[in-house]
Chain A
């Protein structure tokens, strides 16, 4: 088992280096750079010397491989330097938004899991009944409806309902306060984006639970369990679900990692200052250092999530544990 964990940890390193190479060179393929953009924004005449000074200040005039080495060493020592656009330390900028994005991702995952696993299981057990059709409709709708649109509908719905009930329209707060500072305020703000994104997320996981469980329920060992005279609850919970959870855990992990960096539009709708918004800004500003750091952060989250998924696999399946 420790060998398995060790191997998984070692596998992370080439993945991170590969991602680093990709993001570093792809960023530099985009025409223009941060200095040109900054001076263009002023609308004044700019001479080449000024741009050159700016470039040399930021170090982007150095040879490509020197910059690359600098970036990789920075990454592995957690020293990302300063943002090329705002001039503030990158870790500070990310730190401001990371907490919010992480919290939304965790809450959305929570919403998704508590909806998906029971619904998927019921849908599989009651296959082809009205209950199954209802769940499948719910799931298809979740996949078809974009989270940001659902977000807009939620905000409008809240406004209309509170107007009707109390006479005063209520909207989620738009300024962020950490959960330990003002939990009520924090939850009131973040529960809605978590529901909006969690719905789509749960839809994907519901479908996966259903199909995995349907497949497992046809297995011989389920027939054996029934032939032993076990009650249906044990047959499903102990014999079937544990086997069906492998693909579901994968989906949950991948979606979680996606939420950490991919909530660009939903963040706009709810006016959240999260990682997604920072991403857009840094790409638009040609802020190499910031974009690279953000991509590496998301890659790191993906890699760590995958590692946790692998640990879950080993926990769920003894064939992996003992191989």
Chain B
């Protein structure tokens, strides 16, 4: 059985401008020890999906209105608040985007690191401190004993992100959700952090959901990829399939917009035309239709279902056959 199985998840925000369907019927699974990437532009619903798994959507204005999230044999959406709190930080660890702001500036690194162990594992302070030293060593922070007494402002962004990773690992979770863990970091540090996360999840057998808009990250670190657009998954498959045989015009456009070192410098980038749709003004048709050069009349009538093209590779597009012909160019 899958470690995490999300079925038809719907999360909406009730704002004065109307109801925002931030996540509109998302389903995916994460197997034990597997790394799954969720890719998409800002506002595509990838972070909201993650926060829904943690049940940390702030109400008001946000609410999970439908679906189920099965984690390790129980539906997270039916748990009481206390039960859910025991899962957060213990069974599911979370790594956030902004290491500069995701640590509390007035509490010591040691205390912040020890908190989940004391809260969930009932560890004594001395034991938690011992383990904290070990964790800091594990994520590659030098002089871990000294760091415990330091505060976040003593550390660089990359170091802070390592602390956040250590925090997520503190209670030996089964799943880690990393929400754009490297977006705010320098490119050289990004590689280090990603490498660290990959090694740790592999060595410790932890499953990971990595949310990103960086397709380079996906290619190197993810086993499977879900591409999201306007609150839905529009393509899903193993990383190599998505890369070499994209079957959705949005995925194709994303791949084409990535700058590549092996192309001539004069070659122009090919950005995705247009803007992401306003989530309050979606109609019944395909939400990518206004930006899609393959769009036909049928695309306006209903949202294309997510259909399997080949084993383990699905796409939500009526024109996937047409698209397939063009794909060879991308791989180049």
Closest chain A CB from B79 CB (angstroms): 12
Q: Please, which residues of chain A bring their CB within 8 A of the CB of B153? A: 318-319, 322
The complex places the Cα of A192 from the Cα of B104 at a distance, in Å, of: 41
Q: Is the CB of A221 within 8 A of B116?
A: no
Q: Please, which residues of chain B bring their CB within 8 A of the CB of A316? A: 106
Q: Is the CB of B104 within 8 A of A228?
A: no
Q: Is the CB of A223 within 8 A of B105?
A: no
Q: Is the CB of A229 within 8 A of B87?
A: yes
Q: Is the CB of A319 within 8 A of B105?
A: yes
A317 within 8 A of B: yes
Q: List the count of A-B residue pairs having beta carbons below 8 Å apart.
A: 78
Q: Is the CB of B103 within 8 A of A229?
A: no
Nearest B residue to A222, CB-CB? B104
Q: Is the CB of B151 within 8 A of A322?
A: yes
Q: Please, which residues of chain B bring their CB within 8 A of the CB of A239? A: 104, 107
B98-109 vs A, Cβ < 8 Å mask (1 yes, 0 no):
100111111110
Known: A221-B102, A318-B151, A322-B151. A227 touches B107 (CB 8 A): no
- Count of A residues near B, CB < 8 Å? 23
Known: A229-B85, A230-B119, A231-B119. A224 touches B104 (CB 8 A): yes
Q: Please, which residues of chain B bring their CB within 8 A of the CB of A227? A: 54, 56, 88-89, 93-94, 96
Q: Is the CB of A319 within 8 A of B104?
A: no
A241-252 vs B, Cβ < 8 Å mask (1 yes, 0 no):
011000000000
Closest chain B CB from A105 CB (angstroms): 29
Q: Is the CB of B101 within 8 A of A220?
A: yes
Q: Please, which residues of chain A bring their CB within 8 A of the CB of B119? A: 228-231, 234
The residues in B between 85 and 144 inclusive whose CB is less than 8 angstroms from any CB of A are 85-90, 93-94, 96, 98, 101-108, 115-116, 119-120
Known: A231-B119, A318-B151. A223 touches B103 (CB 8 A): no
Q: Please, which residues of chain A bring their CB within 8 A of the CB of B98? A: 220
The complex places the Cα of A226 from the Cα of B89 at a distance, in Å, of: 8
The complex places the Cα of A316 from the Cα of B104 at a distance, in Å, of: 12
Nearest B residue to A217, CB-CB? B58
Q: Please, which residues of chain B bring their CB within 8 A of the CB of A234? A: 115, 119
Q: Is the CB of A229 within 8 A of B89?
A: yes
Q: Is the CB of A317 within 8 A of B105?
A: yes
A205-228 vs B, Cβ < 8 Å mask (1 yes, 0 no):
000000000000001110111111
Which residue in A128, A229, A322 is a CB contact (below 8 Å) of B120? A229
Q: Please, which residues of chain B bring their CB within 8 A of the CB of A322? A: 151, 153-154
Q: Please, which residues of chain A bring their CB within 8 A of the CB of B88? A: 226-229
Q: Please, which residues of chain A bring their CB within 8 A of the CB of B102? A: 220-221, 223-224
The complex places the Cα of A128 from the Cα of B58 at a distance, in Å, of: 14
A88 within 8 A of B: no
Known: A224-B96, A228-B119. A318 touches B86 (CB 8 A): no
The complex places the Cα of A271 from the Cα of B61 at a distance, in Å, of: 53
Closest chain B CB from A308 CB (angstroms): 19
A238 within 8 A of B: yes
Known: A219-B101, A221-B101, A226-B88. A243 touches B154 (CB 8 A): no
The complex places the Cα of A309 from the Cα of B59 at a distance, in Å, of: 36
Q: Is the CB of B106 within 8 A of A230?
A: no
Closest chain B CB from A129 CB (angstroms): 11
B167 within 8 A of A: yes
Closest chain A CB from B140 CB (angstroms): 20
The residues in B between 64 and 80 inclusive whose CB is less than 8 angstroms from any CB of A are none
The complex places the Cα of A221 from the Cα of B115 at a distance, in Å, of: 13
Closest chain B CB from A301 CB (angstroms): 28
B211 within 8 A of A: no
Q: Please, which residues of chain B bring their CB within 8 A of the CB of A221? A: 101-105
Which residue in A128, A225, A229 is a CB contact (below 8 Å) of B104? A225
Nearest A residue to B99, CB-CB? A220
Q: Please, which residues of chain A bring their CB within 8 A of the CB of B60? A: 128
Q: Please, which residues of chain A bring their CB within 8 A of the CB of B86? A: 229
Q: Please, which residues of chain A bring their CB within 8 A of the CB of B115? A: 225, 228, 230, 234
B164 within 8 A of A: yes
Q: Is the CB of B167 within 8 A of A228?
A: yes
- Can you add 13 more A-B contacts, CB < 8 Å, to A223-B56, A228-B119? A221-B103, A221-B105, A224-B103, A226-B88, A227-B96, A228-B89, A229-B119, A230-B115, A230-B116, A234-B119, A243-B106, A318-B108, A322-B153
- Name 5 A/B residue pairs within 8 A (Cβ), A-sorted: A227-B88, A227-B89, A230-B85, A230-B89, A319-B153
**9 A-B pairs with the lowest CB-CB distances in the bound complex, closest first:** A229-B89, A229-B88, A228-B89, A220-B101, A227-B94, A221-B104, A318-B151, A228-B116, A220-B102
